[in-house]
Amino acid sequence: MKKKDYALEAKRFIDAAGGKDNIESYLHCVTRLRLNLVDKTKVNEAEIKASSLTKGINYAQNQLQIILGSGIVEAVHEEVQKIMEVSNAPLDEKLNSDKLEDFKLQAKANKEALRNKTGFFGQIQKGMRVLGDIFVPIIPAIVAAGLAMGVSALLKQIIKPSGAQLDSLLWIIVDIVTKTAFDSLAVLVCWSTVKRFGGNPVLGIIIGLMLVSPLLPNKGSIASYNAQYDFYKEQLTLGKAPLDIYNAWIKAGLKWMGNVPNATSVWDPTTAAVAPIKLWIIPITGYQGSVLPALIIGIVVAYLEKWIKSWMPKSVNMIFTPFLTITFALLIALFFFGPILLMVEQGILIATKAILSIKYGFGTAIIAGLLQGIVITGCHQVLQGLEMQLVIDGSLPGANGAAPAGSIFNAIWTASIISQGGAAMAVAIKAKDKSDKELGFSAALSTFFGITEPAIFGTNLPKVKPFIYASIGGFFGGLFAGILNVTCPGMGVTVIPGLLLYTGDWVKLLGIIGVNIIAFSSAFLLTFFLFKEGVEAKKTKLGLKFDELKSKVKFDKIKFRRSKAE
C-alpha cells in the first residue's frame, strides 16, 4: 500500500474513533494501534472494520486496539501522529483564518514536542520495536529448530562413545531438520527485514539465498582453516613431518569439524576447500548464521528497490528493477560490508586474546558478558579459530602453569548462553500476555541446549533491559569459570549437551554445573526484580501525556512572548 493510502486509513481510524477530540493519547505495539479514548461510545466499529488494513478490534477499558499486523501498524501510527500533532485542515482554509499566527505557533510547539519524543531514548525504543517487527515472524522457526538441534547434539554426545555411526541416513535427516533454519538464518532475516521496510519480500529471499550460497566459504570454516594453517606452520618449523602434524591435530579432538584430510594422505593447507576466496585484496565470505549483516542488507534491498522504481520506466519496471536491486545489493554485501565486517572480526579476535589474558577470572568474565552482543553482529564465528587453538594449547593464554586440560572457551560460551535463558525465563514468569509467556518459556528452554537466538531476538533484546541483565549474568558465570579454570578438551556443544565434555574430570564437571547455576540464577534474579514491564508501559503513556503538556506549555510561552512584543 502506498504511503498516501496509509494517511487516508489513518484519518479514517481517527474519525471512526470519534475524532481528534475524543482521542486522549495514542501509541502502538508490535501489531496493534492503541487509541486511549475519552468516550468509547463514540466509536464507529463498522467503519474501522471496513478498512482493508483492519484484522480485528479489541478494547482494554477505554483503550481501542485496532489490530493491523507487524510492519503496517508502524506506518499507520506515523500518519496518525502527523494528523494528531498538527491540524489537518486544508492550507487555504488556514491562510484565510484569523488564527493563522496561532496555527503557526502551535505547529512550532508541536514540532518541538515531536523532536523531544524522538530523542536518543526514543530512537532506541523505536529501534527495538523495529527489531520486534522483524524477528517476531521468524521466531517460531528458530525456536523449533533450536530445540531440535539441542536434542540432536545431546543424543550425539551420548552415542559417540558407543562407536555408533553418525553418517547414517537417519542422522543426515536429523541434521537437515536441525541445521537448515540456522544455516539459512540470513535468508529469514533478509525476507522479514525487506517486508518490514516495504520492499518486495521475494527479493529479500533471493538476496538471502545468495548470501548463504554454498559457493561462498563459511566464516566458521575459514576460522577453522586459519587455525589449522597456523598450527601446521608452527609445527613444521619444529621439524615435524606433515603426517605427524596431522595426527597431532586429530589428537586435539578436532576431527569432528570435518575440515581435516584423510589420515593416509599428506595435508596441504594451501589447497584446502575452506581456504578464503579473494578478489585482488578483497576477501569474499558467506553470511551463514549471520544476523546483523543480513538485517542491514535487507534494509538496503528495500530502499534500493524503492529508489530504482522511482525513476525506472513502468514499461520495463518489472524486468529491470528486481535485476538491478539484486545485483547492486549483492555487490554491496560482498565488496563493501564483507571487508568491513572482516576487519571488525579481526579487531574482535585481537581484543578477545588480550582480554583473556587478564588474570583472576576477570578476562573470562568480560568475554562472557560481551559474547552475546558479538553474536548479534555475526562476528562471533571468527572466535572459533581462537577456541580451536585453546583446545590445542590446553590452557588459558597467559595463564602460567595451567594444566593442559583443554579450552576454557566452552565455559565462557555456556555462561553467556544460559544467562540469556535466565533472563527470558524471568520475563516469561512476569509477563501478563499469554503469547509472551509461551515465547519466553520456549526461548528459555532452547538455551538449555545451547541455542540463544529465540531468547535474544524474541524476548530479551526487544525489551532491552533483560538483555543487559543477561549479559551481567554471563559476566558472573564467566568470572566463576575463570577463577576455577573450568576447562574441557572439546568444543561445539554447550549447557546440557556440553556437560558430557566434562565427564572425564568430576572436578571440572562440578565446575561447569556451577557456571550454569550462577549465570542462570544471577540473570534470572536481576531481570525478575529489576525489570518491570508494566511500569515501562505506564512510563510510555505518561511520557506521551508529558510531551503533550510540554507542547501546550511551550505554545503558551511563545504566544505570551508574541503578544507581549506586540
What cell numbers appear for 523 in the block?
A: 540473570
Place of cell 569439524: 257
Picking from 371, 370, 383, 377, the residue whose alpha carbon sits closest to that of residue 341 is 377
Q: How far apart are CA 485 and CA 6, in angstroms?
A: 58
- Residue 229: all three cell numbers together: 594453517
Rg (CA), the chain: 28
Count of other CB atoms within 10 angstroms of residue 307: 14
Task: Give long-range contacts, CB 8 A cutoff, 24+ apart: 397-401.
Answer: 397/353, 397/356, 397/357, 398/356, 398/357, 398/359, 399/359, 399/485
Nearest to 287 by CA among 222, 243, 240: 222
Degrees, nearest 5: CA angle 206-209-215:
130
Closest CA to 352 of 365, 339, 338, 337: 365
CA atoms lying within 13 Å on the CB side of residue 352: 26
Q: Which of 29, 190, 379, 488 is catalytic?
A: 29
User: Is residue 460 classed as helix, strand or coil in its secondary structure?
Assistant: helix
Q: Measured between alpha carbons, how far is 222 from 278 in angstroms, rounded to an integer?
A: 12
- Helices 465-484 and 409-430 sit at what angle, rounded to 10 degrees? 150
DSSP assigned state of 334: I
- Collapse the DSSP code of 345 into the 3-class scheme (helix H, G, I; strand E, B; otherwise coil) and give the result: helix
Per residue, what are the HEC states of 435-459? Answer: HHHHHHHHHHHHHCCCCCHHHHHHH
d(CA 246, CA 263): 8
Cβ neighbours of residue 366 under 8 Å, at least 6 residues apart?
355, 358, 475, 478
330/208 Cα distance (integer angstroms): 9
Pairing of strands 63-67, 56-60: antiparallel
375: enclosing H helix or E strand: helix 362-377
Q: Are 447 and 403 in contact (CB under 8 A)?
A: no
Cα–Cα separations (whole angstroms), residue 88 to 38, 111, 420:
21, 14, 46
Neighbours of 519 (CB within 10 A): 33
Q: What is the DSSP letter of 335?
A: I
* φ and ψ of 72, to 5 deg: -70, -40
* Residue 390 to residue 369: CA distance in whole angstroms: 19
Indicate if 379 belongs to the active site: no
Q: Which three cell numbers stand for residue 334?
A: 560482498
Distance CA 428, CA 441 (A): 6
Catalytic residues: 29
